[in-house]
Amino acid sequence: MSAAEVVLSVEDASVVRQGRALLDAVGLEVRAGEQWALLGPNGAGKSTLLGLCGARLHPTTGTVRVLGHRLGRVDMRQLRTHIGHVDPRTRIEPYLSIREVVLTGLVAATALPRNWNPTGDEAVRADELIEVLGLTARAAREWSVLSQGERGRALIARALVTEPGLLLLDEPTTGLDLAAREILLEVLAQLRVARPELSSVLVTHHLEELPASTSHALVLAEGRVLVSGPVEIALNSEVVSRAFGHPIRVERNRGRWSATGAARVHSD
């Protein structure tokens, strides 16, 4: 996959439900190797846009192309097998081991079919991902006894086992303590080195939860795009303050972002 290839294209897309526009004329173009952040306050439309990116929703109007296929003219279920999706809210059977959880990614389910076995190549790929994500010593542990951090890394391995062309991360640090969050963000940053051609879109409303490898950002507010482009342009105090409707100071140090409330200036 070349660096110039468009992996995801959302053109003038709107999603309307019960007369309300959840998304209004949104545009997004993700090229191979880009790591995008999708930010905005609650209710901004982030989950709806991620649903379009993941071939889980059709736009009411506009055009969405994922991995070269236009939604509405492609088998959505088949297309989703080429998209990695990381969602901490995914329900996993508690008796599955880490290795089995990773293998469920190959069957697009939360449990393994009876009498199903991976091919030799699939088994090797699963074990390699488990190792890369630092889970080899825990590979036999059941889901029910894993920490939230271990679960987060296992879900990333599960999403990558199919060798997807696009990786979507829906608030992947949800429920993690500080140490587990930092480990997970480091893993995501390392992915850019291990899989430089892989494109990703990460949804969050906390700038502190962005990996240092983030290259682009789209900021949403009330279903509309405020800014979209390289992080140096998209993530600044003015844009984030507009999006959240509150004065916020955005700073970046050693590749990571922080956001703090900025004091309002009152005139006499």
Q: What is the pLDDT of residue 265?
A: 46
Q: Which of 103, 28, 36 is nearest to 66 (CA)?
A: 28
Whole-angstrom distance, CA of residue 211 vs CA of residue 184: 9
Q: Residue 37 has which token pair? A: 């952040």
Say if residues 139 and 97 touch (Cβ distance below 8 Å).
yes
The pair of three-digit structure tokens given for residue 156, joined into one six-digit string: 């990333």
82 CB-contact burial (10 Å; exposed 0-12 / middle 13-18 / buried 19+): middle
What are the chain's domains? 1-82+164-268 (3.40.50.300), 90-163 (no CATH)
User: Tens of pLDDT along 39-96?
Assistant: 999 999 999 999 999 999 999 999 999 999 999 999 988 898 899 999 988 899 999 9
In sequence order, what DSSP letters do the residues of 141-183 get, joined into one string?
Answer: SBGGG--HHHHHHHHHHHHHTT--SEEEEESTTTT--HHHHHH
pTM reported for the whole predicted model: 0.89
Query: What does the pLDDT look like over 27-53, one tens digit per residue?
Result: 999 999 999 999 999 999 999 999 999
Predicted pLDDT at 102: 95
Per-residue model confidence as pLDDT tens for the chain (268 residues): 444 699 999 999 999 998 899 999 999 999 999 999 999 999 999 999 999 999 999 999 999 999 999 999 999 888 988 999 999 888 999 999 999 999 999 988 888 888 899 999 999 999 999 998 889 999 999 999 999 889 999 999 999 999 999 999 999 988 888 888 888 888 888 888 888 899 999 999 889 999 989 999 999 999 999 999 999 999 999 999 999 999 999 999 988 999 898 765 444 4
pLDDT at 205 (0 to 100): 84
pLDDT at residue number 187: 85
CA 42 to chain centroid, in Å, comes to 16
